[in-house]
Structure 1
Amino acid sequence: MPKLTGWWKNRSSAGKVELYTRGSFHLFVLLEITSFGMAPVASAAGRTSFVVPVSLFFLLCAHAVLCGVLNSKALHWVVGRRERPTRLAVTTAAATAAGALGVLILRVTGHIVEPAVAPTLVAGLTWFASGSLVLCLRSVRRMWWVPSAAALATGLAVLAVGMPATKALGYAVGVLLGSLFFCATCGFSAWLLTTVYELDRSREVQARLAVAEERLRFGRDLHDVMGRNLAVIALKSELAVQLARRERPEAVEQMIEVQRIAQESQREVRDVVRGYREADLAVELEGARGVLSAAGMDCRVDFGAPGPELPSEVQSALGWVVREATTNVLRHGDAQRCLIRLTALEGGAVTLVVENDGAPQTPAGPPGSGLAGLRERLAALDGTLQAGLVGDGRFRLRAQIPGRRLEELEVRA
């Protein structure tokens, strides 16, 4: 069963919307054939010749397939995977015009006897072609020209074959109303698909910007710490070289000063890195709630009493667990709900659980270094980390630190 449903669950939100949209347009092919292509076949009952009805049926089938191919390629263009299918769109418009004109000629010459068959076929050809052509346009203003042009061309074609003006008006109004509906439906589908993909790309860009901003902050901190000290080291080293060349004893004093500044710089860099690696648990929990809620997820955080009372080492380790889990929820799967619970167990142990739905049934690739790094941080506190699927597309990450280790840290503090 997971293999049967994985093709849907493993897709992103944008991928699901695209799959649903493509399926809807594929159904249009069957809808055109069954709803409009069967009209000439049904009218052939009692006739001696089936050449014209069968030919018209295959005409509708070929037109439906042509519109289906245009829909598929146009959707690829909408999401930015290929160029606009201009030639195929022109071919579809020309084939539609030729088919509709042929139906009208057969009606005037008496080869189509039933009065409802010709309007039905013309409507099927123009309506579905109008919807397919709209998918190849970006401007809404240009989309509105498609049904108007289809109605005008149909009315003129009816007049050209010798039908009365009342017939031409009826054909034009019918084509206009049906084409407006199909154009609005197809145009909205293209707009929705484009919007969903833009939101998906915006979320990726936002995550990258957050990482870049953090790197810039860390780079500024290192520059502030090391810039002045390295400049002093360079000057004093140059002075020591000059003094040594002159065999002055002050060169030793300058090198001792360089050694002191280097050791101080090393200590300051360690302090910066230590501050960068430490994470406040309360801040991380509230930050996870805000980020996941902003991403459209229902995030619930159960932040119990033990949080503020935990030693700083434990808060830092669990804070990194929250940070890494939040990143994984945003990056992998398609979660709608997420639960983050911090609880104190019997014996003084502390457990942090992060659980979300929408997890892919199959791993996207080899495990990264994120979970391995968390296990190393927790191992320093005798803690454990468990991560994996728990059924129904839910992924659970569970970190636990034993009570005896917490007591040792509290006594040391």
Structure 2
Amino acid sequence: MSKLTGWWKNRSTAGKVELYTRGSFYLFVILEVVSFGLTPLVAAAAERTSHVVPLALFLMMCAHAALCGVLSSRALHWVVGRRERPTRLAVTTALVTAGCILAVLALRTTGESQATVAPTMVAGLAWFTSGALVLCLKSVRRMWYVSAAAAVATGLAALGLGMPAAKALGYAVGVLLGGLFFGATCGFSGWLLRTVYELDRSREVQARLAVAEERLRFGRDLHDVMGRNLAVIALKSELAVQLARRERPEAVDQMIEVQRIARESQREVRDVVRGYREADLAVELEGARGVLSAAGMDCRVDFRSDRELPSEVQSALGWVVREATTNVLRHGDAQRCRIRLTAPESGPVTLLVENDGAPEAPAGPPGSGLAGLRERLAVLEGTLEAGLVGDGRFRLRAEIPGPRLDGLEVRA
């Protein structure tokens, strides 16, 4: 069953909206053929007349429906930014539609088609073309112009072929009203699809910014550690050189101090790389709530602590929160996320991060983020579990045992 439904569940929200929109426009092709293309054949069968002209009209409507379907498909590709605007195809579709409408109106004036056939076919030709052309536009004002231009052109064509003014006006009004409806529907579909993809791209940018911010923080910490120590090492080394040239015994003491500072710097750099710098876990949780909420998710954070957590535990769990937040933003299509931290007075500290919208199959090879978290927690004898738990939910659970907490010093 998962293989049958995976093609839908594994899609992002933007992909689902695009698939639904494309399906709707492909359905328009069938709707045009069934609702308007069969009209001349039904009329000919009812009146028992020749089927030559009705069959030609039916084939014309089929070709027109296919052309509008191709234009709509390429216009949707342009809407989501995959290809250029199909300007030439749009102009071709408009010209073909104009020719088809003229042919139907000419048959109507010569009496070759039934009285009810011409208005129906003209309306179908103009309406579906208006909807397809609107997809090729961004300006709302220009979208309204499409239906107005089609109505004026149809009315003038009817007048030019000798129809009474009342009938010509009826054609124009019918084309205008139906064209406005189809244009508004198609325009809204294009706007919705464009907006959803922009939100999806914004979420990706947000995830990249979160990673970039973390890299900048790491760079600042590394600069704070190494910048000062390297400056002291340079000064003391220069002093040791001057003392050595004067054969002063203090040069040895200076080099011993340089060696001590170098070892201290090595330890501090190791602490920065492993993420053992002190961190405020409450700040990390609030930051995760803000980032996920800004991305349009329903994020709930529960922080229940009956004791003050040591700085090492806060730092390790803070890294878990950061990595989990980044994964929620970058992978899947989450709508809801729950973060719960439980720190009872006695017993293990548990951090649970659970979100929906997780793909059933991984999008690529696993990264080193979770492995790094396991290494950080292992120092505290903690564990990390991560994986799918059903219904498209992904759960990450970190736990640090109580005995290990009791052996750590709590620093304010």
TM-score by length of 1: 0.90
Q: 1:56 to 1:364 in 2, by over 3 A?
A: same
Identify the residue that residue 279 of structure 1 maps to in structure 2: 279
Matched, 1:293 2:319: no
Question: Secondary structure, in 3 states, of the residue corresponding to 1:389?
Answer: strand
Runs of 4+ in 1 over 3 A off after TM superposition: 220-279, 344-347, 410-413
The 8 Å contact of residues 151 and 172 in structure 2, kept in 1 or not, is answered as yes
Q: 1:192 to 1:35 in 2, by over 3 A?
A: same
The 8 Å contact of residues 320 and 373 in structure 2, kept in 1 or not, is answered as yes
Q: Distance in 2 between matches of 1:320 and 1:357?
A: 21
Q: 1:180 to 1:395 in 2, by over 3 A?
A: same
Pairing of 1:227-238 with structure 2 (within 5 A): 227=227, 229-231=229-231, 233-234=233-234, 237=237
Identify the residue that residue 104 of structure 1 maps to in structure 2: 105
Identify the residue that residue 143 of structure 1 maps to in structure 2: 143
Question: Secondary structure, in 3 states, of the residue corresponding to 2:44?
Answer: coil
Identify the residue that residue 396 of structure 2 maps to in structure 1: 397
Tell me which amino acid in the other structure corresponds to 1:319: G
Pairing of 1:160-171 with structure 2 (within 5 A): 160-171=160-171
Q: Distance in 1 between matches of 2:390 and 2:228?
A: 56
Tell me which amino acid in the other structure corresponds to 1:312: S
Q: Distance in 2 between matches of 1:276 and 1:349?
A: 20
**Is there any run of 5+ residues in structure 2 with no aligned partner, and where?**
none
Tell me which amino acid in the other structure corresponds to 2:381: D
Deviation larger for 294-303 or 346-355:
346-355
Shift of 1:161: 1.5
Tell me which amino acid in the other structure corresponds to 1:59: M
Question: Secondary structure, in 3 states, of the residue corresponding to 1:360?
Answer: coil
Shift of 1:81: 0.5
Identify the residue that residue 379 of structure 2 maps to in structure 1: 380
Shift of 1:12: 1.6
Identify the residue that residue 73 of structure 1 maps to in structure 2: 74
Q: Distance in 2 between matches of 1:267 and 1:406?
A: 23
**Is there any run of 5+ residues in structure 1 with no aligned partner, and where?**
none
Tell me which amino acid in the other structure corresponds to 2:79: V
Q: Distance in 2 between matches of 1:288 and 1:26?
A: 41
Question: Secondary structure, in 3 states, of the residue corresponding to 2:333?
Answer: coil
Q: 1:141 to 1:364 in 2, by over 3 A?
A: same
Deviation larger for 86-95 or 9-18:
9-18
Shift of 1:383: 1.6
The 8 Å contact of residues 70 and 88 in structure 1, kept in 2 or not, is answered as yes
Q: 1:232 to 1:390 in 2, by over 3 A?
A: closer
Tell me which amino acid in the other structure corresponds to 1:152: V
Q: Distance in 1 between matches of 2:184 and 2:115?
A: 29
Q: Deviations over 1:6-54 (max 9, x none)?
A: 2222122222221121111111111111111121111011424111111
Pairing of 1:4-403 with structure 2 (within 5 A): 4-45=4-45, 46-112=47-113, 114-227=114-227, 229-231=229-231, 233-234=233-234, 237=237, 255=255, 258-259=258-259, 262-263=262-263, 265-266=265-266, 269=269, 277-306=277-306, 308-344=307-343, 348-403=347-402
The 8 Å contact of residues 218 and 276 in structure 1, kept in 2 or not, is answered as no
Q: Distance in 1 between matches of 2:28 and 2:391?
A: 33
Q: Give the fraction of aligned pairs with identical amino acids, expressed as a percent.
A: 83
Deviation larger for 140-149 or 114-123:
140-149
Q: Distance in 2 between matches of 1:340 and 1:116?
A: 64
Q: Deviations over 1:321-359 (max 9, x none)?
A: 222112111111111222222235796122222111111
Shift of 1:405: 1.8
Shift of 1:316: 2.0
Q: 1:242 to 1:158 in 2, by over 3 A?
A: same
Identify the residue that residue 406 of structure 1 maps to in structure 2: 405
Q: Distance in 2 between matches of 1:305 and 1:223?
A: 34
The 8 Å contact of residues 311 and 410 in structure 2, kept in 1 or not, is answered as no
Tell me which amino acid in the other structure corresponds to 1:176: L
Q: 1:77 to 1:206 in 2, by over 3 A?
A: same
Shift of 1:310: 2.4
Deviation larger for 326-335 or 120-129:
326-335
Q: CA RMSD in A?
A: 2.8
Deviation larger for 181-190 or 253-262:
253-262
Q: Distance in 1 between matches of 2:346 and 2:240?
A: 61
Q: Distance in 1 between matches of 2:268 and 2:377?
A: 25
